[in-house]
């Protein structure tokens, strides 16, 4: 077993061992961990599992997952060539939005997962995972734009995208989602340049903005 595979399996076991001490995880089988190629170049990060994800204990296997599979295929990739995970590693009751404290409780596990997989590109699906890397942005304004983001000592290309579930509800969003997916291979092959914008630069910008106001 490769080192990365072993580390991911250990991380999953660690999470399962925290049952009863983490929100939404009453028993080890409540954990919905990430899956895919352990050294993938592309990592997709969604929000949290729903009914099918909780039943099968796998991310993105319901209707939104079927669409995600098609979108992945549309850029010449297979599901087992990428890594797929979520911000929250369990199913919130009635599929409600994750709470801030739930996102915070699972943050160290997602951060570790990112560190182990160490992808070139992170595609965020929906606003909860976009907020992790690009806080304060609006998905309607930045979807499909690749940005360099310095995160925990590493530089990633982050491409925020609409959540596939939103694409299933709205034809216009579906069109945008399909278009945005076509950019993945361009960023992968360095045919498209990400915007040089990091979270650090953003903070400086807002300080300058504040000075202007003062």
> Given the rule CB under 6 A, which residues bind ligand URA?
46-50, 53, 59-60, 62, 64-65, 86, 165
Indicate the residue among 165 and 177 with the shorter CB distance to ligand URA: 165
Q: Minimum CB separation from ligand URA for residue 191, in Å?
A: 28
Q: Minimum CB separation from ligand URA for residue 53, in Å?
A: 4
**CB-based closest residue to ligand URA:** 46
Indicate the residue among 86 and 145 with the shorter CB distance to ligand URA: 86
Q: How far apart are the first and last CA of the chain?
A: 58
- 192-199's contacts with Cβ under 8 Å and 24+ in sequence apart are 192/146, 193/146, 194/146, 194/147, 194/148, 194/157, 195/145, 195/146, 195/147, 195/148, 196/148, 197/147, 197/148, 197/149, 198/148, 198/149, 198/150, 199/133, 199/134, 199/135, 199/149, 199/150, 199/151
Contact 146, 192 (CB under 8 A): yes
Q: Minimum CB separation from ligand URA for residue 183, in Å?
A: 20
Q: How far apart are CA 6 and CA 87, in angstroms?
A: 21
Q: Minimum CB separation from ligand URA for residue 57, in Å?
A: 11
Indicate the residue among 48 and 142 with the shorter CB distance to ligand URA: 48
Q: Minimum CB separation from ligand URA for residue 131, in Å?
A: 13
Indicate the residue among 59 and 194 with the shorter CB distance to ligand URA: 59
Indicate the residue among 30 and 47 with the shorter CB distance to ligand URA: 47
Residues 6+ apart with CB under 8 A from 21: none
């Amino acid at each position: 077993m490769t080192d990365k595979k072993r580390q991911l399996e250990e991380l999953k076991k660690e999470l399962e061992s925290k049952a009863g001490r983490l929100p939404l995880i009453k028993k080890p089988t409540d954990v919905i961990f990430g899956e895919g190629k352990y050294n993938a170049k592309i990592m997709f990060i969604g929000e949290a599992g729903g009914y099918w994800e909780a039943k099968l204990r796998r991310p993105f296997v319901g209707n939104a997952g079927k669409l995600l599979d098609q979108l992945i295929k549309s850029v010449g990739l297979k599901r087992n060539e990428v890594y797929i995970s979520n911000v929250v590693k369990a199913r919130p009751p009635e599929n409600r939005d994750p709470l801030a404290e739930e996102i915070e409780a699972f943050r160290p596990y997602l951060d570790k997962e990112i560190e182990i997989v160490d992808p070139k590109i992170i595609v965020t699906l929906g606003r909860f995972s976009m907020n992790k890397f690009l806080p304060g942005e609006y998905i309607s304004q930045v979807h499909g734009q690749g940005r360099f983001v310095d995160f925990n000592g590493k530089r990633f290309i982050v491409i925020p995208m609409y959540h596939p579930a939103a694409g299933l509800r709205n034809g216009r969003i579906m069109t945008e989602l399909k278009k945005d997916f076509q950019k993945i291979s361009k960023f992968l092959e360095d045919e498209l340049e990400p915007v040089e914008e990091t979270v650090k630069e953003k903070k400086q910008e807002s300080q300058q903005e504040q000075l202007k106001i003062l």
